[in-house]
Amino acid sequence: MRSHSDGNAEATGSVSLWMDTAPTPELTPLTGSQHAQVCVVGAGIAGLTTAYRLARSGKDVLVLDERGLRGGQTARTTGHLCSALDDRFFELEKLHGHEGARQAAQSHASAVDAIEMICATEGIDCEFSRVDGYLVQGRGDERAGILDREYDAAIRAGLDCERVPGAPGSLSVFGDALRFRHQARFHALRYTAGLANTIERLDGRLNRATVVDVEGGANAHVTTQDGDRIDCDAIVVATHVPFNDRLALHTKQAAYRTYVIALRIAQHAVPDALLWDTLDPYHYIRIEPGRGNDWLIVGGEDRKVGQDETPEHHFAELERWVREHFPMAGEVGYRWSGQVIEPVDSLAFIGHNPGRADNVYVVTGDSGNGLTHGTLAGMLIAELIAGRESAWTSLYAPDRKTLRAADEFLRENLNFVPYYGELLSGGDVDSYASIGAGEAAILREGLHKIAAWRDDTGELHLHSAVCPHLGCVVHWNSAESSWDCPCHGSRFDPRTGARLNGPADRGLAPLELQVVPRDRVRSEVPRATR
């Protein structure tokens, strides 16, 4: 079982199959202020696709990322590339109308085509392969006719879809299915590594830096934590969730954690296909071919970030589900989780950043389809920067208002209100001495809530437990060893307090020494740095 991290992954978190099997270029630190026509913040698939398309058109592009290619959410996906979206096309029709659903299908299919074309054009070896995708009704889903409804909506949306009595081979255990042709799968990190290398070959620049401020308008620039300034004509914030907005987009989306396991399985024991069921949360499957054995990759068990007291349980539940359906599967070789941002109306927000100047662009709200959303974001934003409108502009506009999603909007925005009461509650434990190695707890000292984590060497690491975004108290994530905010999904490294996920624009504040009584400081935190 791989559960340690490397230097570029989340500092104490899990390691995905992709992280362990892909060499990725290191980003050199940014040195000094610079100028670029376009500054892209974020080196995941969205930021790199945007930079690639701009560099291909002759633009001078600079990409900045604070952790590198292996440190973001692209490294934590399962590598599904699909136009068969997981939010159901009959639901998309309700939210966006027949034309909106058709455009959603068309844009995602175009994104998969674009990845295939880029791989061929640039010689990127990322195991891209076209496969069929199958939607099945999950055991326990009692909704009558759900596959029929989705089939009718998918056909209206223009997808190549057919009813079949079952998926092939060992996937037939799930029964009746919808078959979606022309889906695909790939190795996400090998693809983004190929994009990064191509961008540099096209004279684009990729550097490591933490961006702390974004300013659009006539004097557009970004500012880094080290005080460097990048003057530019346009800025693209492609950081999974934007850190430069306090509320504009975060009330229209919610952060979930999705869980994944990869099990060894005999070659060809499971067909090379994608499969999803209709449960909520749903399960999703794919194969990663290997040498000597294949990998059966299974994900699901999504839960709201910071609101899950037993994240380790979801890995066990996934394994139980796999053993029930695929008794031939071998041992679990990898397990990891990733952040999924769910917009209230099921489609990503791509385009001009609301409330910002027209030369600031944003992409967020991947809705579990981040690889295709990120790719079509690069396609769409590059067109907008070039001054060209796209047929998809309105569908993905970040400032859109979808009145039919009002119930979901209210549900998500009322969900986190009770967590603000934790500012006034007591701590998890009364003493630092009760926190064992590898354990964490929230303590109260007077008016202060303290996030305390003891590493494997016994050293205690203390930070403010208050999320710097909007002031919720963070919760401990035992599966990824991180502090997670239950309100808007920001996540933090327990050793350094550094931000792992936005929307927080900075990390947890280090403990001010005077917060802790002196006798405890001497016995528990001998060094003044903590």
Q: Does pTM top 0.85 for this prediction? A: yes
Most confident option among 32-46, 336-350, 423-437: 32-46
pLDDT band at 527 (very low <50, low <70, confident <90, very high): very low
Please indicate, yes or no, whether residues 173 and 300 belong to a single structural domain of this protein.
yes
Residue with tokens 């999703």: 284
pLDDT at 355 over 90: no
* CATH number, residue 158: 3.30.9.10
* CATH number, residue 427: 2.102.10.10
Please indicate, yes or no, whether residues 428 and 520 belong to a single structural domain of this protein.
yes
Please state the domain count of the chain: 2
- Which pLDDT score is estimated for 525? 42
Look up residue 334 and give its two tokens: 């990898």
Q: Which domain holds residue 511?
A: 421-524
pLDDT per position as a tens digit, 231-288: 999 999 999 988 877 667 777 888 899 999 999 999 999 999 999 999 988 999 999 9
Domain assignment of residue 298, yes or no: yes
- Which pLDDT score is estimated for 7? 33
Report the length, in residues, of the chain: 530
Average pLDDT over residues 160-183: 96
Phi, psi of 485 (to 5 degrees): -90, 125
- Which pLDDT score is estimated for 43? 96
The last residue of one of the domains, among 293, 319, 340, is 340
- The b-or-e profile of 7-41 (16+ CB within 10 A means b, else e) is ebbbbbbbbbbbbbebebeebeebeeebebebbbb
Domain assignment of residue 219, yes or no: no
Task: Report the relative pairing of strands 332-343 and 253-265 from DSSP bridges.
Answer: antiparallel
Q: What string of DSSP letters covers 229-294? A: EEEEEEEEE-SSS-SS-SSTTGGGEEEEEEEEEEEEE-TTSS-S-EEEES-SS--EEEEE--SSSE
pLDDT at 409 over 60: no
Q: With contact defined as beta carbons under 8 Å apart, do 72 and 240 qualify?
A: yes
Tell me how far apart the alpha carbons of residues 444 and 394 are, in angstroms, rounded to a whole number: 48
The last residue of one of the domains, among 340, 375, 401, is 340
Please indicate, yes or no, whether residues 334 and 446 belong to a single structural domain of this protein.
no
The last residue of one of the domains, among 309, 340, 371, is 340
- Which pLDDT score is estimated for 6? 34
Query: What residues contact residue 485 under an 8 Å CB cut-off, 6+ apart?
Result: 305, 306, 467, 469, 472, 474, 475, 491, 504
Domain assignment of residue 371, yes or no: no
Please indicate, yes or no, whether residues 438 and 318 belong to a single structural domain of this protein.
no
Q: What are the CB-based long-range contacts (under 8 Å, 24+) for 418-421?
A: 419/306, 419/307, 419/472, 419/473, 419/486, 419/487, 420/471, 420/472, 420/487
Please indicate, yes or no, whether residues 462 and 335 belong to a single structural domain of this protein.
no
Count CB atoms within 10 A of the CB of residue 108: 24
Average pLDDT over residues 305-316: 87
Please indicate, yes or no, whether residues 336 and 469 belong to a single structural domain of this protein.
no
- Which pLDDT score is estimated for 407? 63
Give bridge partners of residue 129 from the DSSP assignment.
185
* pLDDT over 90 percentage in the chain: 68
Q: What is the torsional sign of CA 206, 347, 114, 271?
A: positive
**What is the chain's alpha carbon radius of gyration, rounded to the nearest angstrom?**
23
Average pLDDT over residues 368-373: 91
Domain assignment of residue 175, yes or no: yes
Domain assignment of residue 317, yes or no: yes
pLDDT at 471 over 70: yes
Please indicate, yes or no, whether residues 471 and 327 belong to a single structural domain of this protein.
no
Please indicate, yes or no, whether residues 331 and 434 belong to a single structural domain of this protein.
no
Strands (E), 306-421: 332-343, 349-352, 360-364
pLDDT at 414 over 60: no
Please indicate, yes or no, whether residues 334 and 432 belong to a single structural domain of this protein.
no
Residue 459: burial class (beta carbons within 10 Å; 0-12, 13-18, 19+): middle
Please indicate, yes or no, whether residues 330 and 425 belong to a single structural domain of this protein.
no
Domain assignment of residue 471, yes or no: yes
Domain assignment of residue 166, yes or no: yes
Please indicate, yes or no, whether residues 157 and 272 belong to a single structural domain of this protein.
yes
Domain assignment of residue 485, yes or no: yes
Average pLDDT over residues 421-440: 80
Residue with tokens 């376009």: 38
Phi, psi of 115 (to 5 degrees): -60, -45
